Amino acid sequence: MRAQLLSGSVALAAVAASVLTGAGPAWAGDPNGQYGWTNAQASGGQLTVQAGHTYWTPPANSSWATAGKSDPPPGKPDPNQPYGCTYQADPEALQTLGSGGATPGQWMIPTCAGPGVIDPMPPFWVTGAQPAAVTVQVDPVVVAQKAAQELGFGSPTIEMAPPDGSPQLVGVAAWLWIDPGEWQTLTASASAGPVTSTATASPSKVVWDMGDGASVTCDGPGTPYSASDPNATTNCSYTWPDPGSFTVTATITWTVTWTATGAPGGGNLGVHAGPPAQMPVTVTESQAINTPTGSN
């Protein structure tokens, strides 16, 4: 049950109502407690739902907005001027009082600070308030992660010398490389609301699993072997110590970064391994017999 206003607060409430509405004594008596003050009206503004309660934001520059400021008005203090007011819808008041003016509308209960406050403050009728626009906060890094999923990493094309189909030799370095056209930057973008994030993947290394327990890490795609250049060298090779049948696996590792428009943000999304490629390899051992010169 709502508390009844003290009779000594009647004049003070009337003055406070006059300040808030800017239109004479809005409430003209209080024989029935808080809900006896039912003549004040306002229009416009916005409605916002927070934690299950509906709050009213009055139109800018209105007397209601002035009363909602956190600090008292400048100048000589007015003992009848409340401030720091918030306005909450009260559906119970509608059931008790009915409408307080044009419909649709709703009753609002002020909660204020300052010398012009009575407890409880009288309700007033608000019409024409619009729901506040809902702003959805979009995390740009989440959008960037979605973009990263669209980068489309592909399996590399394994190349070796001796070439595929020819046996490798124990003790002889095999050149390793991937198709140079696969060593390129990839980009993909994704959007959510006003935010667009772009993920960029740069190849950083190729990890070769040689199938015999050893691995080789090359900082680039490797150097293609060319028989026309017998003096060429490579920084990506492997020498098998023993014969056997092995499966060689090559995996490109990518460094992924991101940028955004429509929201501040950008940075590193970490290192990602692309899908591997595999090739079966046979390693043989070649033996020769040295025959001394001049022997019979």
pTM listed for this prediction: 0.54
**Residue 52, Cβ density class (10 Å: 0-12 exposed, 13-18 middle, ≥19 buried):** exposed
Instruction: Count CA atoms closer than 13 A to 97's CA, side-chain side.
Output: 24
208 versus 262: the higher-pLDDT residue is 208
Q: What is the SS3 assignment for 143? A: helix
Domains of the chain: 7-131 (no CATH), 140-284 (2.60.40.10)
Asked if residues 260 and 144 have their Cβ atoms less than 8 Å apart, the reply is yes
Question: Of the ranges 53-67, 101-115, 121-135, 169-183, which one carries the lowest mean pLDDT score?
Answer: 121-135
Q: Give residue-wise pLDDT tens across range 12-53.
A: 233 333 333 333 333 333 334 444 445 688 899 999 887 778
**What is d(CA 146, CA 141) in angstroms, rounded to the nearest whole number?**
9
The pLDDT, as a whole number, for residue 289 is 58
Range picked from 113-122, 274-283, 285-294 for highest mean pLDDT: 274-283
Asked if residues 206 and 160 have their Cβ atoms less than 8 Å apart, the reply is no
The residue among 183, 188, 185, 186 whose CA lies nearest residue 150 is: 188
pLDDT > 80? residue 294: no
Rounded to 5 degrees, what are φ and ψ at 46?
Answer: -130, 150
The pLDDT, as a whole number, for residue 20 is 38
Percent of the chain with pLDDT over 90: 48
Q: Which two tokens stand for residue 96?
A: 């008790």
The residue among 127, 182, 125, 122 whose CA lies nearest residue 157 is: 182
The pLDDT, as a whole number, for residue 75 is 74
The pLDDT, as a whole number, for residue 134 is 59
Q: Give residue-wise pLDDT tens across range 229-256.
A: 888 899 999 999 999 999 999 999 999 9
